[in-house]
Amino acid sequence: MRTLKELLLNVNCDKNTVDEKIKIKGIKHNCNEIKKDELFVCLKKGTQAADNIKTALNKGAAAVIAEKIPEENIPFIKVKNIRKAYALIAENFFGNPAENLKITAVVGTNGKTTVSHLLNFVLKDNGIKTGLIGTIGNEICGKFKSAQLTTPDPMEFNELLYDMKKEGAEIVITELSAHAIFFNKLYGIKCDYGIFTNFTQDHLDFFKTMEKYKKVKCSFFKPESVKFCVINNDDETGREIVSLCKLPYLTYGIFSPSDCFAMDIRYTEEGSEFLVNAMDELYDVKSKLYGEFNIYNILAVISTARAMGLKLENIIKSIEKFPFVNGRFNVFTFNGVKFIVDYAHTPDGLKNLLGAARRITEKNLIAVFGCGGDRDKSKRPIMGKIAEELADKIILTSDNPRNENADEIINQIKSGIIDKKYKTVTDRTSAILEAYEEASSGDVIVIAGKGAEEYMEISGKKIPYSDLETVRNLIENRI
């Protein structure tokens, strides 16, 4: 519980009609969840905002904070930017838990989860207590909690930091989505390290243009948000960030001159091997992670861990122990057929995934994938074209159609496939079984798009479903 005065510390208020001595028991932005003596943060605009404020007050809200107030005779705090205010209030409610924690934010279209989990593993393996926040879930000093969003809402984010601090965490690694940057979820928190992985097409349903999407990603790498940057120098946007960067930074890459780079790369059945030059220190690296995209992820982790002060030899030894990230290039073998389950759901992600899978394919490469509904429609034919170019066989299926028709989404993917024959099997389990029935020893079946997700989202409902479990069931003759 905090006084309103404590909550409003550093918040830029235009007007306040509420006694700042009152005690606030909680903070909510969902008016239907408000309880007595809580503060309602109104994130909505217009008529919906007025209705939500009325509902919150009827439920016992002590006060309302918003950019616009529908009427004067209510307890309200008016602010210029509600998203920034919400972030600061959440930090104040939990006693600014980011203080004395070293926070590392991983930004980029692809690779955030793998970089986060690998860095977390390396730090823990070197005796450092950590917290992890991201897509697959949140980890507090080894204790796992499920997650709904890549980067949580400010109240949940700061509560996680509070719990991590209480458990003795020293370093927190968080995936930072473009939506989280846009909505100022970490406003007021200055990260110690910011990692940039790459920039490719995604989320155009929200950002509309690649330029706007890029601008949001790049906006994080500024002195008010982060102290030290680790940047992919092979990525065009990464080089743009470097050229404008007013912060200390390290670069990593394979093809461009970088502070940390890989040489003599070899891809094997067991993973990847290469020689790393990290700030003029040389060391051989062996990893169970497959593909060029994972070489970049490893280089990002090496660069960051070195910047944190870990010895290169110890970093490499930890990387060699790292098994995999759940739902990221997970390989299963059954009757001579390899299954690869991966989260790749963007054009670049699918291209990298199929390219990596090709290196361990003896005969045919079979791609099983779909595209999510209510998301960027322009990437659907592009992903169809990529599959046509890189796979030998294609089976198009459903992938979280949400409020769209699954068959219509598949038809849009089909429009990018010009010459190659393909099959359409809308039910995802049946599509995976169909791929296996078509496969023979030496073939590889890539199942892309869902990774570690444990649901299929259809018409607003999340129905239990898992690619990983489907493959395991197939191998164990349960389906």
Q: Kindly state the average pLDDT of the residues 34-40.
A: 97
**DSSP conformation class of 269:** T
- pLDDT attached to residue 141: 87
Is the pLDDT score of 72 beyond 80?
Answer: no
| Nearest-5° Cα angle at 192, 155 to 161 | 25
Is the pLDDT score of 374 beyond 80?
Answer: yes
Percent of the chain with pLDDT over 90: 93
Q: Where are the domains of the chain?
A: 2-93, 102-321, 330-475
In whole angstroms, what is the distance from residue 4 CA to residue 67 CA?
A: 17
- pLDDT attached to residue 149: 84
Is the pLDDT score of 46 beyond 90?
Answer: no
How is domain 102-321 classified at the CATH fold level?
UDP-N-acetylmuramoyl-L-alanine:D-glutamate ligase (3.40.1190)
Q: Is the CB of residue 60 less than 8 Å from the CB of residue 36?
A: yes
pLDDT single digits (tens) 398-416: 999 999 999 999 999 999 9
Is the pLDDT score of 47 beyond 90?
Answer: no
In a 10 Å sphere around its CB, with 0-12 CB exposed, 13-18 middle and 19+ buried, how is residue 120 labelled?
buried
The residue written with tokens 């509309």 in the block is 208
pLDDT tier at 147, thresholds 50, 70, 90:
confident
In whole angstroms, what is the distance from residue 298 CA to residue 287 CA?
A: 9
Listed in order, strand segments (DSSP E) in 316-413 are: 330-334, 337-342, 365-369, 393-396
- pLDDT attached to residue 198: 98
In whole angstroms, what is the distance from residue 341 CA to residue 334 CA?
A: 14
The amino acid at 83: R
- pLDDT attached to residue 252: 98
DSSP reduced 3-state for 18: coil
Percent of the chain with pLDDT over 70: 100
pLDDT single digits (tens) 338-354: 999 999 999 999 999 99
Is the pLDDT score of 5 beyond 80?
Answer: yes
- pLDDT attached to residue 291: 94
Nearest Cα to Cα of residue 400 among 329, 479, 465, 470: 465
The amino acid at 209: T
Q: Kindly state the average pLDDT of the residues 139-152.
A: 88
In whole angstroms, what is the distance from residue 217 CA to residue 26 CA?
A: 31
Nearest Cα to Cα of residue 160 among 118, 102, 97: 97
Q: Is the CB of residue 2 less than 8 Å from the CB of residue 93?
A: yes
Is the pLDDT score of 145 beyond 90?
Answer: no
Structure tokens, 470:
């489907």
In a 10 Å sphere around its CB, with 0-12 CB exposed, 13-18 middle and 19+ buried, how is residue 386 labelled?
buried
Structure tokens, 9:
């510390």
The residue written with tokens 């944190």 in the block is 308
Q: Is the CB of residue 477 less than 8 Å from the CB of residue 351?
A: no
Give the list of residues 6+ apart from residue 398 with CB closer than 8 angstroms, or none: 370, 406, 409, 410, 426, 427, 428, 431, 456
- pLDDT attached to residue 121: 98
- pLDDT attached to residue 45: 87
pLDDT tier at 380, thresholds 50, 70, 90:
very high
Structure tokens, 443:
């073939």
Is the pLDDT score of 271 beyond 80?
Answer: yes
- Answering whether pTM is above 0.85, one says yes
- What's the CATH code, domain 330-475? 3.90.190.20
The pLDDT mean for the chain works out to 96
pLDDT single digits (tens) 91-141: 999 999 999 999 999 999 999 999 999 999 999 999 999 999 999 999 998
For 2-93, CATH number out of 1.10.10.370, 3.90.1300.10, 3.40.605.10, 3.40.1390.10 equals: 3.40.1390.10
- pLDDT attached to residue 269: 83
CA distances from 50 to 14, 17, 41, 143, 151 (A): 19, 17, 12, 41, 28
Nearest Cα to Cα of residue 369 among 402, 331, 341: 341
In whole angstroms, what is the distance from residue 392 CA to residue 177 CA?
A: 33
- List phi, psi (to 5°) of 248: -65, 145
DSSP reduced 3-state for 37: coil
CA distances from 453 to 91, 117, 273, 278, 463 (A): 30, 16, 29, 35, 11
Reduce the secondary structure of 214-251 to three states and give it as a string: HHHHHHCCCCCCEEEEEEECCCHHHHHHHHHCCCCEEE
Phi-psi region of 104 (alpha: psi -120 to 50; beta: other; left: phi over 0): beta
